[in-house]
């Protein structure tokens, strides 16, 4: 309830509301950030970034599109991923990493292709069972490690790997077995 009150005040633009949001949602933000970033300092900086973004972008939050926690999760995930990309770029050298990133200059043809792929994937995800969807989002949205997933699902890492293998096969089949990554 306290969190909800802080969100209401934040959206109303009350300057001290961010403290309340921070107190209530730091565990959630950390939960998302910790799965993506390993370095302690990076994590702390990322959290500070996200809280700053929350204040800056508060007017962009649209309750009709999703809950506040979903919005927070998106901010935290993107911020953590950006940091991880930057960190890897520094470590591995820009040229090598650029190969793995989606090319910024995708032409109109590739963009149409990607949109089709996304539509196909959405359909495939919708066809997954609830448990499979949970596993999919843990792995590909929250980017959780097998170890973390196993601990939270009360199973062994081997069992999680097996389930992920079957999930991949299912999605691969649904996507026609071809990727344009």
Partner 1 sequence: MGETEKLDRLLTEEAGELPPPPEVEEEITPWKRAMRRIVWGIGLTTCTLNVWNINTIMIMVGIVMLWLGFRALRRENRWFAICWGISLIQVVFRFAGFILNATIWGSEHPLSWLSYSVLLLPLIQYFCLWRAIIEVRRRASQPPKAGAAGALIWFYLVLAALALLNVQGLIIVGTILVIYILILRSLSKLPHLLDEAGYQVQPAPVRVSDRNIWIIWFAALLICIPTATLLFGRYPMEWLPRPEGEQAGLEEIRSHLVELGVPEQVADDLSAEDLSGLKGALRVEMEVTEEPFNDGREVRITFGRYTQVHTEYDVKELKATNLAVELPGKRWQIIHHFQWQVQPKYRTTECIVLWPAARTSIRGYQMEGTVTGRLLYDMDGTTYLGDYYRLNVEDYTTDSIFWGATENQWPMALFSLPLDGENYRGYLTYPMSTVDDGWILDSWMNYTHQVEFWNYPLMTAEQHEKQGLWNGTGGFKTSQTAIQFYPYEN
Here the tokens at position 104 are 């910024």
Here the tokens at position 25 are 């949602």
What is the rounded distance in angstroms from the CA atom of residue 10 to the CA atom of residue 12?
5
The minimum distance between CB 155 and partner 1, in angstroms, equals 4
What is the rounded distance in angstroms from the CA atom of residue 16 to the CA atom of residue 9?
9
The minimum distance between CB 108 and partner 1, in angstroms, equals 18
Nearer to partner 1, 15 or 102 (CB): 102
Binding residues vs partner 1 (CB under 8 A): 2-3, 23-28, 30-31, 66-67, 69-70, 73-74, 77-78, 81, 100, 102, 117-118, 121-122, 125, 130, 133-134, 136-143, 147, 150-157, 159, 168, 171-172, 179-181
CA 20 to chain centre: 23
The minimum distance between CB 78 and partner 1, in angstroms, equals 7
The minimum distance between CB 44 and partner 1, in angstroms, equals 14
**DSSP type of residue 103:** P
What is the rounded distance in angstroms from the CA atom of residue 75 to the CA atom of residue 77?
6
Q: Is residue 50 within 8 Å of 79, Cβ to Cβ?
A: yes
The minimum distance between CB 59 and partner 1, in angstroms, equals 19
Q: Is residue 59 within 8 Å of 103, Cβ to Cβ?
A: no
């Amino acid at each position: 309830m306290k969190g909800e009150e802080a969100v209401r005040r934040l959206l109303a633009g009350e300057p001290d509301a961010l403290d309340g949001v921070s107190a209530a949602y730091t565990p959630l933000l950390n939960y998302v950030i910790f799965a993506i970033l390993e370095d302690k300092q990076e994590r702390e900086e990322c959290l500070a970034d996200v809280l700053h973004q929350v204040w800056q972008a508060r007017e962009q939050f649209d309750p009709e599109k999703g809950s506040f926690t979903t919005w927070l999760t998106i901010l935290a995930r993107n911020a953590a991923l950006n940091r991880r990309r930057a960190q890897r770029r520094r470590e591995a050298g820009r040229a090598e990493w650029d190969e793995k990133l989606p090319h910024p200059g995708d032409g109109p043809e590739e963009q149409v292709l990607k949109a089709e792929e996304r539509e196909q994937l959405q359909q495939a995800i919708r066809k997954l069972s609830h448990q499979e969807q949970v596993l999919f989002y843990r792995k590909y949205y929250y980017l959780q490690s097998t170890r973390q997933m196993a601990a939270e699902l009360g199973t062994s890492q081997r069992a999680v790997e097996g389930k992920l293998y079957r999930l991949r096969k299912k999605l691969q089949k649904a996507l026609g077995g071809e990727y344009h990554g």
